[in-house]
Amino acid sequence: MQSFFRLLTELSSRKAISRMVGSLARSRWSRRWIGHFARSYGISVEEAEKPLHEYESLNEFFTRRLKPGARPIDPDVNTLTSPVDAVITGLGPIRAGLRFEVKGQEYTVGELLNQSPRTVNYDNGYYFVLYLSPRDYHRIHAPVSGRIEEKEHIPGKVYPVNDFGLRVMRQVLSRNERLVTYIRHEHGEAAVVKVGALNVSSIRYAEGLADHVNKGDELAMFEFGSTVVLLMESGTFRPRGDLSCGQAVRVGEALGVLKPKHEDGR
């Protein structure tokens, strides 16, 4: 049965379908769905920057900004903060020379980063997998302050990245389309990997994105639900002790502490 569902997903996970859904969601005709969409997913519409009737399409509502102050950013310069509103679907140290596990499947950082030369930076680092459901705020923010060293677009599929997709499809996170932003901060490097998904018409960088970002600045946005994989360079990060899979986090919430390399003697 699992093979049957995998086949159906393979057949439906085509860019043409995502483009079609995206075009429909961007049309003015789609604005009639906004109220129903918000009610169906229990979206906190009072946080939205504008009243519902002012959005011109479902896509504009989906990629909405929030009211100023709705997501306070942890002020400690030494914290790593969540780049998104999401549920943690994977976290932990990257082990055995660049390997990590999500929903029973093993990935390598090399696969995720398209064999980038920067892969070696994360050989004993730390990772978070952060899943955004349709109800979530879908703008992505800088988790640290620093300089954007590199941006890479990695073409790929658009498989679902929900619980079903991560469990049933093979290597979803490293097969789907991705945008990777590498940020050099005071203590090392962080990689923000934005993973596309079924019915995501695009992942877009924020307009006017500067080479230097401050923690909490807008980096990009998803159109429809998807996932961010956050990678921390080896020896530069200590996670909060109370985080676990299934836990919800919000933009600006501290995930742990940045630290100089080898401060613990390793």
The catalytically annotated residue of 13, 85, 201, 234 is 85
The catalytically annotated residue of 30, 174, 226, 234 is 226
Q: Would you say residue 24 lies in a domain? A: no
Q: Would you say residue 81 lies in a domain? A: yes
The catalytically annotated residue of 138, 141, 185, 187 is 141
What domain range includes position 215? Answer: 69-258
Total domain count, the chain: 1
Q: Would you say residue 10 lies in a domain? A: no
Quote the CA–CA distance of 116 and 120 in Å, as a whole number. 9
Q: Would you say residue 3 lies in a domain? A: no
pLDDT digits (tens, 9 = 90+) for 77-115: 999 999 999 999 889 998 765 566 665 667 788 988 999
Q: pTM of the full predicted structure?
A: 0.86
206, with CB counted inside 10 A (0-12, 13-18, 19+), is middle
Q: Would you say residue 20 lies in a domain? A: no
Q: Is 85 known to be catalytic?
A: yes
The first and second tokens of residue 77, run together, are: 């310069």
The greatest distance separating any two alpha carbons of the chain, rounded to the nearest whole angstrom, comes to: 60
Phi, psi (degrees; rounded to nearest 5) at 212: -110, 135
Q: Is 123 known to be catalytic?
A: no
pLDDT digits (tens, 9 = 90+) for 190-205: 999 998 776 544 788 9
Q: Which residues of 61-96 are buried (b: 16+ CB within 10 A; e: fewer)?
A: bbbbeeeeebbebbeeeebbbbbbbbbbbbbeebee
Q: Would you say residue 181 lies in a domain? A: yes
Q: Would you say residue 229 lies in a domain? A: yes
Listed as ranges, residues in the chain with pLDDT below 50 are 1-13, 200-201, 265-266
Q: Would you say residue 5 lies in a domain? A: no
